[in-house]
Amino acid sequence: NLQSTTTLHNGVKMPRVGLGVYKMEEGNDVKDAVLSAIDIGYRSIDTASFYKNEEGVGQALQETSVSREDLFVTTKVWNDEQGYEETLAAFDRSLEKLGLEYLDLYLIHWPVPGKYKDTWRALEKLYKEGKVKAIGVSNFMEHHLEDLLKDAEVKPVVNQVELHPRLAQPELRSFCEERGIQMEAWSPLARGKYFDAPILEELAEKYEKTPAQIILRWDVQHGIITIPKSTKAHRQKENADLFDFELTADEMKQIDDLNTGERNGPHPDEFD
Ligand code: NAD
Q: Catalytic pick from 22, 42, 51, 84?
A: 51
Q: Please indicate whether residue 18, judged by its CB atom, sits closer than 6 Å to ligand 1.
A: no
Which contacts qualify for 172-178: CB closer than 8 Å, 24 or more apart? 172/141, 172/142, 173/222, 173/224, 175/142, 175/145, 176/145
Average pLDDT of the segment spanning 142-169? 98
Which atom number of ligand 1 is nearest to the Cα of residue 189? 2
**CA distance to 39, 151, 176, 186, per residue, from 213 (Å):** 20, 40, 25, 15
With a pLDDT cut of 70, the percent of the chain lying above it is 100
* pLDDT of 172: 98
Q: How many residues make up the chain in this entry?
A: 272
Give the pLDDT of residue 18.
98
Q: How far is CA 225 from CA 21, 143, 198, in A?
A: 15, 22, 25
Q: Which domain holds residue 185?
A: 5-194+224-232
Cα dihedral angle (185, 117, 93, 23), rounded to 10 degrees? Answer: -30
Q: In what order do the strands lie in the sheet with 182-186?
A: 19-20, 44-46, 72-77, 103-108, 132-138, 158-162, 182-186, 225-226
Query: Is position 58 within any domain?
Result: yes
pLDDT of 3? 81
C-alpha of 214 from chain center: 18
Structural domain contains residue 205 = no
Is residue 51 part of the annotated active site? The answer reads yes
* Per-residue pLDDT band at 1 (split at 50, 70, 90): confident
Query: Ligand 1 centroid to 147 CA: how many Å?
Result: 29
CATH of the domain at 125: 3.20.20.100
Pocket flag, ligand 1, residue 37 (CB < 6 Å): no
Contact present, 245 and 217 (Cβ < 8 Å): yes
Report the pLDDT averaged over residues 112-126: 98
Q: Is residue 174 part of a domain?
A: yes
Please tell me whether the overall predicted TM-score, pTM, comes out greater than 0.80 for this model: yes
Asked if residue 65 is part of any domain, the answer here is yes
Taking the centre of ligand 1 as the mean of its atom positions, its distance from the CA of residue 73, in whole angstroms, is: 17
| 38: nearest Cα among 11, 79, 70, 4 | 70
Q: Ligand 1 pocket: which of 17, 19, 21, 22 to mutate (most atoms <8 Å of CB)?
A: 22
Answer whether residue 24 is part of any domain: yes
CA of 125 relative to ligand 1 center, distance in Å: 31
Percentage of the chain exceeding pLDDT 90: 98
CB-ligand 1 contact for 237 (6 Å cutoff): no
| 3-state secondary structure at position 184 | strand
Domain count, the chain: 1
Contact between residue 145 and residue 152 where contact means Cβ atoms under 8 Å apart: no
Cα(23) to ligand 1 centroid in Å equals 9
Residue 177: how many other CB atoms lie within 10 Å: 13
